[in-house]
Amino acid sequence: MIKLAKGTASWIATPLFLSIIFMSMSIYTNIPLRNILLFLSIFSWLALFFFLIFFRDPDRKTGEDIVAPADGKIREITILTDRDIGRCIRISTFMNIHNVHVNRMPLDGVIKNIVHLKGSHVPAFRKDSDRNERVVITIDTGIGMLKICQIAGTLARRITPYIKKDDSIRKGTRIGIIKLGSRVDLYLPLSSRIKINIKEGDKVKAGEDTIAKIHG
């Protein structure tokens, strides 16, 4: 049985309801209209199947050290200076259409702030997607401050956090979902204690795959 992400029941119920309505109506109509209703019913069933796959939320065995916050492919690993974290490593994960879109906590910590920023909706793989709509989560952990940016894409129009400020969250816990999208950036403090465990192009699973080791 498919486990669905929190807050996605209406996305499943709508195409299910429409498919039943169109199928029922087709029984009592003439052939030309019946064909149209059957087509709409099939389209609704396909939409239902798509949402069931897209909004699945399987249980995961939590990995060691710092785990991936999102399913997908590592697109970029860069060193930069962030106003909240200081000198840090940014790990960008692009979530494709077939990935699980529920994001998870990379390390035990306390949520210090959650900010929702408005912006554009260009494809998440483009450089200018840094100006897209996003939710920025700042986390106080045993290795210092971390930051997670959930970034919307072309189709994504809603980022839903499952957490709130001052929550104490365990590693691997579900922290939110980007509905129909798209990219998650993790900012780690630049430290000799942290050794990155992945490279660009690697595929990872949220909460399960270790992306960095902690030494000392």
Q: What are phi and psi of 88, to 5 degrees?
A: -155, 170
The H or E element that residue 32 is part of is helix 31-54
Q: What are phi and psi of 169, to 5 degrees?
A: -120, 135
Active site residues: 182
Q: Are 62 and 172 in contact (CB under 8 A)?
A: yes
Q: What are phi and psi of 49, to 5 degrees?
A: -60, -45
d(CA 146, CA 85): 7
d(CA 211, CA 214): 10
Q: Are 145 and 58 in contact (CB under 8 A)?
A: no
Q: Are 111 and 118 in contact (CB under 8 A)?
A: no
